[in-house]
Structure 1
Amino acid sequence: MTTFPARYAGPTLGEVGEHRAIEEIISAAPSSRNGDDAAVLSHASPNSRAVATTDMLIEGRHFKVEWSTPEEVGCKAIVQNFADVEAMGARPLAALLAISAPPHTPVSYIRGVAAGIADRAGEYSAELVGGDLTSGAELVLSVTAIGSLGGSLPELTLDRARPGQRIVAHGRLGWSAAGLALLDRFGRENVPAEFTELVEAHCAPRLNPGRGVIARATGATAMTDNSDGLVADLGIMARRSGVGIDLHSSAVEPDELLLRAGQLLDADPWEWVLAGGEDHTLLAATAGDPPSGFRSIARVTRGEGVTVDGLEPAYGHGWVSF
């Protein structure tokens, strides 16, 4: 059973009921489209297509209440969904939130989740436009993101990487996994202050909005995000496209902060970089120069699978649900 820290003391969902709790969510994440039977969205442009994706966060598996504030959980829920929209080259427009929570869940906690969603979605000029709330044995969040793909260029699917292109990246690599390792060892309160950024990268990852749209507009043909692990996610792109992807070790090597964390934990930071995941770094295939905000990390070859400097990667596993 989920045990909430004392700082979330106050009325619970079971005490106030569904309707009052929903009012708290709407108050924390206001939208003129939220509150009716369904939200009606306007097209961003006449020549546009809708993009939709959904992901779940389960307490104890994807986050822990003793590690993450509810605002951070809300931020994480938005980024993991909006990154998938951006990875198609689209612009996020709106989010739907479904929550299953035990009756003893403090209303203040759910309000905090909604506030985190509103804050991070607002960075994309997007809104929380509806959802559902129900009682359940575990705390489970499910976010559905809706986006718009404008213009006539094709979407950035996984099967369009071609030999001769380069792989470009926007975002950190390995930071979320390092943050998780630090939390596992020390708990939130005892992580050394010098590693605060790594912990935040795990609890509340972030991306600069609009990078996916820029990559598509400047010639990218395929894109994904680093959710399950760099080698694992690029491996899917390589397999779907029938190509090889050769990472440049000098472009993805652990930075100084990861190296210090590795020394503290007696861990190999290369594992965080290659297999960690949950950074939600955008990874695109393009024939041109890296778009604004991206850097080149690999080349697309006529080989198979993912290599590092032409060799088998030291770590090839990634996150799997089962």
Structure 2
Amino acid sequence: MSFAGVSVVADGRLLKPSSAASAIYSSPASSGGWWYHLLVVQGYSRLKDLPNGHRIKGSSFRAGGYRWALEFYPNGNTITMESAGFMSVFLFLADQHVARPVAVHGQFSFIDEVDKQVPRRIRARKAYFCANDRIWGNQFIKLEDLEKSERLKDDCFTIRCDLIIAEAAAAAFIKVGADVTFNVGQESFAAHRNILAARSAVFMAELFGPMKEGTTAGPIRIQDMEPNVFNALLGFIYTDLMPKMMKVGGEVGVDEVTWLQHLLVAADRFDLQRLKLMCEEKLSEHIDLSSVTAILGQAAKHHCRGLKEACLEFLKVQSAAILGGVMATSDWQRISATDPSVLNELIAKLASKS
């Protein structure tokens, strides 16, 4: 756990960081993926009568490689009567462009509510942040309840925001208590046998079955896979999130279609059906004349029914000349050899078009 700065509200406004405390950045390695930020409110009596919907934005802070801020509503977060009389706090993702959803477990509490500041309570509440949905929070406490409580002292109180960022926590967790090592290319990866076996039947067989890998104390060699692909595979196993696109084999110019194909192959190899479906869905968005045969080939080889169907639907609407050109390629010949039913299914679709 790492401290991620403090925001101080006084006289109805946010004090400048230099007047309060500068935001502190902590690396995932030192935080274990867990940060907390404090919102110190001074002069509550001057805040409670502010209009419903009045917002005070806290200081920006960094956690898990992203910029965040708290949004504080002293007397309701909207103009509706339902939120009036409630103090609301929200966690806001300040980064404008987010490549993929960020999974966060969050908890708001008063600074002395230590029972709420434990992993079990924090992990019970989960939110996803993305480019179009960058805020999460709730009505924190009713004003009259705050005034009756012991949290309000000398007209001041402090709210603590704990957040555990899934991808950062996984990166830190992998390094702690790891009991198996994989060598992939020139790189090594540490992991946990029980977690891998719980997510993948293939890992279960390799690590706990009668196979050599289940009993060896040395590193396990993974053949025919790039290190970055295996790293992405581990990332999915620990976070259940679609991995970010990564370079394959150190090649800078690898496009997303190639990356997704590598990942789909890896997912099929280790029987990670959810990841495989994610790759299928992403690949279906990239089907065009330049990619359809390559994607169809992978779909046929790895028994991706939905992706295969998407490719055939795309070919169905093409002109006879374009379709003839596709079927004359060596890629199509390889597809037909891998899955002879492809041609029959395409003919059936063309017949239904007429």
Taking structure 2 as the reference length, what is the TM-score of the superposition?
Answer: 0.21
Does 1 or 2 have the higher relative contact order (CA < 8 Å, sep 6+)?
1
TM-score when normalising by structure 1: 0.23
Decide which structure has the larger Cα Rg and report it. Answer: 2
